[in-house]
Every structure is written in structure tokens, then in C-alpha cells.
Chains A and B, each alone.
Chain A
Amino acid sequence: MNETISRLEEVTYDDAIVRKFLLACMVFAGVAFAAGLLAALQLAFFPLNMELPWLTFGRLRPLHTNAAIFAFAGNAIFAGIYHSTQRLLKTRMYSDRLSAIHFWGWQLIIVAAAISLPLGFSQGKEYAELEWPIDIAITLIWVIFAVNFFGTLAIRREKHMYVALWFYIATIVTVAVLHIVNSIEIPWSYMNSYPVWAGVQDALVQWWYGHNAVAFFLTTPFLGLMYYYLPKAANRPVYSYRLSIIHFWGLVFIYIWAGPHHLLYTSLPEWAQTLGMIFSIMLWAPSWGGMINGLLTLRGAWHLLRTDPIIKFMVAALTFYGMATFEGPLLSIKSVSAIGHYTDWIVGHVHAGALGWNGFLSFAMIYYLVPKLWKTKLYSDRLANVHFWLGFLGIVLYYVSMVAAGITQGLMWKAIGPEGQLVYPDFVETVVRIVPLYWARALGGAFFLGGFMVMCYNVYRTIAASTEVSNETVRVRNTRYSSAGEGHRALEGMVTVFSVLSLIAILVGSVIEIYPTLSLHSYIAKTANIDPYSPLEIAGRDIYIREGCYVCHSQQIRPMVSEVLRYGSPSTMEESIYDHPFQWGSKRTGPDLARVGKKYPDLWHFRHMVDPRSVVEKSIMPSYSWLVKDKTDFLSLRKKVSVLRNLGVPYSPEQVAQADRLAEEQAKSVAQAIHDQGGPEGLERREIVALIAYLQALGQKEKQPRPTDQVTVKE
């Protein structure tokens, strides 16, 4: 290299921002874990739903997942990125002001989520539940983060970009694209919207997003952190730097294509499913290469595993990473997916990753950073060890119980007797069987939370003992430029390049946003043999989404004998063609609802929603008694139906203009039916009627029934 002239320069790192992100991370970790524990207990003991709308499982689970991913993991990532990037690049962050906006903006988004999700503002798409104003805020804050990060890259004093930085770059770029594409939606009120995509298209975009959220929010940034903090904590270089580079490029090229493995056996075209499966299996190689690279970093220093709690956490985290990335491709194999999909096995799989990999790596980072940032020693190594073992025990308990529950469910659902009949035709039997495992899982969660609280105390005592907090100042060698002038010129060059790039990004973004809205009519097959939902059913569907029924119920029957026997003929692509958003679901705590329409009389649904135990004795479904009190929002229906019409759902202009009146009429007849069957009187303006209308419409929207010989079944 010819730029050998280098001199010492003084740099003061911005550590205050790292401290802020770290504390925010801990606060929201507490919220996420507590919400998770309560949700787990609700499945074991339904009365804990407490008949409070904002606390029922359907609304609590999105709060838990969003808090865990975006608040806990998000703040952990930001803390680690702000700390390590400055040191890797030997420069302070590009702009303190942008750092501050990023921090406060992100916390505000979290608060907005924590208020809006319990209130039932939801898009009905997993991990993308947040409504459109919050989506926009996320985009803005993310761009600010990106500018700040790339600005820092531009002014770096270190020519070489360490592999961790590459992981951060992939994270920042990809998350932006995923978030924008999956959040293209048309508002129908200041806090509600319908996604532009419908049915299978929405499913595909959602799981492209969902899978890559795991890849680029929970994997790549944490790998970057691992490649920085593990060598730092062990004070030895990573086993093979070359392997780490291969790990990075391998992952980023393969991950993006693996999303369809969430949709195996659905009505997604077969070739797309196979593509997703192949790429998922390919992921084995780079993932395991990375894990081994991390573990071998400790070669010759394994004694640290006994003495250093930070190393302990990191090694366990890497092991869980290896476990989860082994299991993921395994679950993507169609025959394994046939058993595992929709069961709690997937929940166990996710938590091996989230608690084991993301959780433990974050804890390791916190134990490493807190003493450094507050210039003191950790209060107690022993407590850190206690934390480790509590957490470890918690994860093992969680994982084992959920895999056992999942396989039990999977086998019971599929069990077919000698005469070709279902062995467990009563779905609730398969629920009751795993309730003890739900208790075991909750106990695991409690251990994990307990360990976390020990850490909070430890960190609190550490910080309390700190006498000085200041930003670290170091003298560094500039290896990048031979003179200051050139540095500035290069910086200006970067700024231009950067502006052009952002412009292109914005243009592409706009085209993506605008193009589909213009051409949507062409998305809908003119010949669709499907009637759209009536306005009242739309109102009911929005209640279904608000209450988060999709976190327990799927609406997608797979082409397998056992499913056809239990639920009816397999779902087709056409049937959900007007579903904005799709509600195929991902987990069956309750039975599939794709064809529940007309299965029961209206009164049955009425009693079931008010108190599920009154019709299904052992049900664990929450009671939704408030639906009998709350009034249906007829007024907004005209707006809703007109938005749907613009999205290509074939409503006539009259249907739009009369949406509320049509809905009121249908509500009257449903209310009358409930009354005639022996239920209470005068329900026509109540939400329960709208919901029942929707449930009774499920699977009933085909104009002409299909000839039965078209049904293909695989096993």
C-alpha cells in the first residue's frame, strides 16, 4: 500500500449514545420478557387473559414479538454498532445530532408500538403489525441511522473495513428494503390501513419479509457483534479471518431466497416452495462455518469458559446459533415441515435463536460493555454466573417442552385410524394434551426472566459504584490518507456518491410504491370464481385482525389426507385472492378456520365467542365478551370498501356508496338468526354480529362449488 505516511490523531468516541442504547435495551428486554411470560401463562391457564381486551393473548403476542425484536434486539444492535463502529473505524460517529435523533426516534416508535398494539391497531401480519404512521416513522429513523453510519464509514481513519462492518452494512441496506416493500399499504383512517398485496401475493411478501427479518435483523447484525466482541472478550483474533469473509458473503447471497420455506404445502406454486427449500438447505454451510469459526477462536483458551462469564455467554450463544441454523434448514425439508409446521415446534425453534443466540449474545455484550463504559469493574462475577445458569436452564426447558409439544401436536393431528378416520377428531384433545408442556415452557421463561433480573441488579450495582462517566479519548493512526486535504476531498466525493445512491433508492422506492397501485387491476384474475366479502363481513374481518385471532388460528388447509378429513378440501390460491391482508396464519393453537363457515349455527359462535367453555368444555381460547358490548363501526365501511375497490376487489360503485346500509341490513338478519336460535335480542349493532358474519363466510365465497375430482391430496 502506498499511503504509508501516517500520523497520530486524537479521537474522542461518543460513548454517551452507547450507554443510552444499552440502558434502553435493558428496559425493553424486561418488557419483552415479561410480556412473553404472561403470554406463555395465558396458554397454560386461560383465565389470565382476564377478559381485558388489551391484555388478551391475541394482542399481547404481537406486543411481545415486536418488543423482543425491535425494542430489545434493536437497541442491543444499535448499542453494539455505535460502540464497535467508532473503534473499528477510529473515528467518532459522523453526527452526534443524527445519533440523538436515531436514539429518541427509535424509543418513540417503541412507545407508539407499546400503546397501539394493545389497543388493537394491527396490520395482521406477523412482526409487521405496526400501523402505517409508525411504519413511516420507522423508515425515517432507519434512514437517519443509515446516513449516520455511512457518514461514519466515509470519514473513517482506518482504510480496512473489518468483517463486522460488512455485517452491519448488509443489515442496514436489507432491512430498509424489506420494511418498505412489506409495508406498502393504503390507509383508511389515521391509524388503519389495508396492505396493497392480497392473498398469496401478500403471503409471499410477508414471509419474504418475515424470514429476512430473522436473517437481517436477528442474524447478520448479531454476527457482526460476535465477530467484534468475541475476539475482544477473549483477547485473541478470530480463528480464521478468511472464513469470516466467506461466512458473510455466503449468508447474504443465500438468505434472501429462503423465505418461501414458511409456505410449504400452501397454495403457493410448487416451484417457489422448492426454491425456498433448496436455498434453506444451502444455508447450512455458511452458518456452520461461522459458528465453528467463532468457537475455534477460543482454541487454546478454553479455560476462559470456566472463569469468564462473558465467554460463557458467548460460547453458549454460538452453540444456540449453530443449533437454530441446523434446525431451520431441517424444518424447511418438506416432509419435516409436514409435521412441524403450525405446531409449537416452530415456537421452540424461534426461541432457541431468540433467547439463546440473540439473548445470550446481548447479555455477553452488556457484561463486556457496562464496566468499560462506566469505567469500573463488574459488581459480581458470581451473579453473572447465576444469570448464565438460570438463563441456560430456562432455554433448555423452553426448547425441550416446545419441541415435545410440537411433535405431539403434529402426530396427533395426522393420526389416522385403520378405517381411515381421524384418531383425534376433537381438536381440543390435541390442545389439552400439551397444556402441561405449556406450564413447563412458562417455567422456562420464568427462569430466563429471573436470570435477566439478576443481571439488572448486577448492572445496577456496577453503575452505582461508578464514579466517572466520560467519553473515551484515544490517539489513533490514520491509515487511510496521506494528508488531511485528501481526506476532505474523498469525503466530498463520498457525499456525492451517497446522495446519488439515496436518490436512486428513493426513486426505486417510489416506483415500487406507486406501480402496484396503478396496475392493481391486472393482479386480479377477471375470472376469479370468488365473491368478495360483504361490507359486514369486512367489518368482522377487521375485528378478527384487531383481536389477533391469526396468532392462534390458521386459514390455510394443506393438501394432506389428515387435513382434508379434519378441515375440508385444501385451500386454493383463488380463495384468498381478495384478502387484504392474507390471514393464512403460522400456528395452530386452535383449529384451522379456512372452512369454518356454516359449520356451526350462529348461536354456537355467539356462545363460543362470549365464553368458549360454554360449548367446548376444555377450550383454552380467551373469552371475547366485550364484543357483545362494543358497537360495530358501520360509518367507516364506505371508506374501507372504497379502498378495497381501488385495490382491485370487484365491488360495484353502489356497494361502495351503500356499504354501511348494506352492512346494517345483513347485521339485522344475523342478529335475528341468533335470537331465533334462542340467543339474546337486539345484537344488530354489536361487533359480535359482524365477527360471526365473517366467520360464517369463511370458505363459502366460491361462486360455484368446484367439482370434487379437482382436489389433489398428497401425504
Chain B
Amino acid sequence: MIVLYLMIPISLALGIGFVGAFVWSVRNGQMDDTETPAHRILED
């Protein structure tokens, strides 16, 4: 089961990566507005 020592860190790394992306997106203001983006994509 030693492979778990490899897979759990990799899964965790992916998870932490996603947490990082999440924090970035909040800081960057990606979540400030949860209304207009849905409308914006409708115009090309």
C-alpha cells in the first residue's frame, strides 16, 4: 500500500492547487459579481 504515500500527496497537491486557485479567484475579484457574467456571455 506504499503507493498511497504517493497518491495521497498527489491528490492533496491537486487539492491544494485548487485551493490556491480558489483564493486567487476571490482576491482577484472573480467572485465579486455573480450576476453580470451570466449575461455578458450572451453578447458576442
Taking Cβ atoms with an 8 Å cutoff, the residues of A that contact B are: 1, 87-88, 159-163, 166, 169-170, 173-174, 177, 181, 197, 200-201, 204-205, 208, 228, 231-232, 235-238, 241-242, 245, 249, 252-253, 256-257, 269, 272, 472, 474, 508, 512, 515-516, 522-523
Contacts and interface: CB of A to CB of B under 8 A. Distances in A.
A162 B41 contact: yes
A231 B21 contact: no
| Shortest Cβ-Cβ A-B pairs, 5 listed | A237-B38, A201-B3, A241-B38, A242-B34, A241-B34
Given A201-B2, A201-B3, A162 B18 contact: no
Nearest to B39: A237
A170 B18 contact: yes
A241 B37 contact: yes
A626 to B, nearest CB: 36
In this complex, the interface size class of chain B, counting residues with CB under 8 Å from chain A, is: 20 to 34
A242 B38 CA distance: 10
Interface of B: 1-4, 6-7, 10-11, 13-15, 17-18, 21-22, 25, 29-31, 33-35, 37-42, 44
A249 B42 contact: no
Most buried by B among A87, A160, A181, A253: A160
**Chain B interface SS verdict (over half):** helix
A228 B29 CA distance: 21
A205 B7 contact: yes
B11 A256 contact: yes
Given A205-B3, A252-B18, 15 more contacts: A170-B18, A174-B14, A177-B10, A181-B6, A208-B7, A231-B41, A231-B42, A232-B41, A232-B42, A235-B42, A241-B38, A245-B34, A256-B11, A256-B15, A272-B4
Contacts of B22: 249
B6 A512 contact: yes
A237 B34 CA distance: 11
Contacts of A205: 3, 7
Contacts of A88: 41
A173 B14 CA distance: 9
6 contacts: A162-B37, A205-B3, A205-B7, A236-B42, A237-B39, A237-B41
A204 B1 CA distance: 9
A253 B18 contact: yes
Nearest to B3: A201
A522 B38 CA distance: 53
Contact of B4 (A160, A204, A236, A512): A204
A512 B10 contact: yes
B33 to A, nearest CB: 7
Contacts of B13: 508
Contacts of A163: 37
Given A160-B30, A474-B44, A522-B2, A257 B10 contact: no
B17 A201 contact: no
